[in-house]
Amino acid sequence: MLCERCKIREASIQYMEVINGMRTEHHFCTQCAKEMDFGAYSAIFDGEFPLAKLISGLLGGEEPEEKDGKFQQVVCPTCGMTYEKFVENSCFGCADCYSVFDLLIRDNIKQLQGSDCHKGKHPKIRPAGEVHQTEDTVAVDVQAQKVLHRDERTEEIRSLEKKLKTAVASEDYEMAARYRDQIRALREGTKTDA
């Protein structure tokens, strides 16, 4: 599809406009889109796409002002990421950056997501005490511990099945019966946890 403005280049940007309930679609090439004024979203076409600009555009506010360069002085001790680099790249350097820059980004995240508490998925395997305990995360921790124990049992069952096959192959039926009983007990424990 050709750009509807210049009618020369291939359209690569689709712009949807809703006015008084009427939806109209426009198709532009990147060059024409750069020349047009899309307000806060114009930075998208400049090759720069910092998260702070997008968030401030969505929320209708300005980018956070740096008072006397204090924000620039905040540095993650683990990876060396500065707040200035975060705003520039729109991405953290490591997991510790979230806690280091917490006070600087919490309000924006709270406005954008409605809460500053994570209520989404967590990794299945993680140390049990690693997440800050709140009413919402206690249930998640209990579930994660059940999954962790279930995974450990599954590994043990696999190990016992290998030993069982080896015992049967070497005709050690007494040991094979023990392995079979252990596997059965572990499988019954898995069913009651589910």
pLDDT tens digits, 62-110: 444 444 455 557 788 888 888 788 777 777 778 888 778 777 777 777 6
Question: Considering Cα of 65, then 69, then 70, then 75, what sign does the dihedral take?
Answer: positive
Name residue 9's amino acid.
Answer: R
Please report where in the chains the tokens 């950056």 appear, as a residue. 97
Residue 155 has pLDDT above 70, yes or no: yes
Q: Cβ(40)–Cβ(56) under 8 Å?
A: yes
Q: In the chain, what are the domain boundaries? A: 1-36, 40-116, 135-193
What residues have CB less than 8 Å from 115, skipping those under 6 apart? none
